[in-house]
Amino acid sequence: MDDKQPPSVTLKQINAYQFDLHFADDRPAIRTDEPPPLGEGAGPSPSHLLLAAVGNCMSSSLYFALSKFKLDPKGLTTTATGEIGRNQAGRLRVLSITVDIRMGAAAEGMVRLDRVLMQFEQFCTVGESVRQGIPVTVSVFDGAGQKLK
């Protein structure tokens, strides 16, 4: 990420809880919305976007770490799940996030995989930032379904 150009997004309200997110002039907007009964569910909710950001960042960090050692995961499939509940004041909050990353490749024969698994989360800008306020648990599975982390 370029530190000279900090990330920025512009939100334009379309209707009630629907907003179009504009990331740059040359990129298509993404419509967000709250689920019923507040909104119409016409797009991902802010909670979905938070989960997507954490899951995407963790996946990118894992891929980067694997590629540094010339390891091919044969594709990554990531599921990020949020636990939504009420805090002590009765307000809805994201209480925790669980990220499951599944590699297409088997772990067998992947040299230095243990080192990758110990370090990759530390390089995830979004996940580590969110983790300061919300517990984030990350698991990694290989293509054979073996839990590696």
Report the pLDDT averaged over residues 135-143: 95
CA distance 98 to 104: 20
C-alpha distances in Å from residue 57, one per residue of 40, 90, 131: 28, 30, 12
Q: What is the pLDDT of residues 116-133, one digit of tens each?
A: 999 999 999 999 999 999
CATH of domain 46-141: 3.30.300.20
Domain boundaries, the chain: 1-44, 46-141
Q: With bands split at pLDDT 50, 70 and 90, how would you rate the model's confidence at 5?
A: confident
C-alpha distances in Å from residue 123, one per residue of 4, 33, 58, 68: 19, 30, 8, 13
Amino acid at 36: P
Q: With bands split at pLDDT 50, 70 and 90, how would you rate the model's confidence at 47?
A: very high
Q: How many residues does the chain have?
A: 149
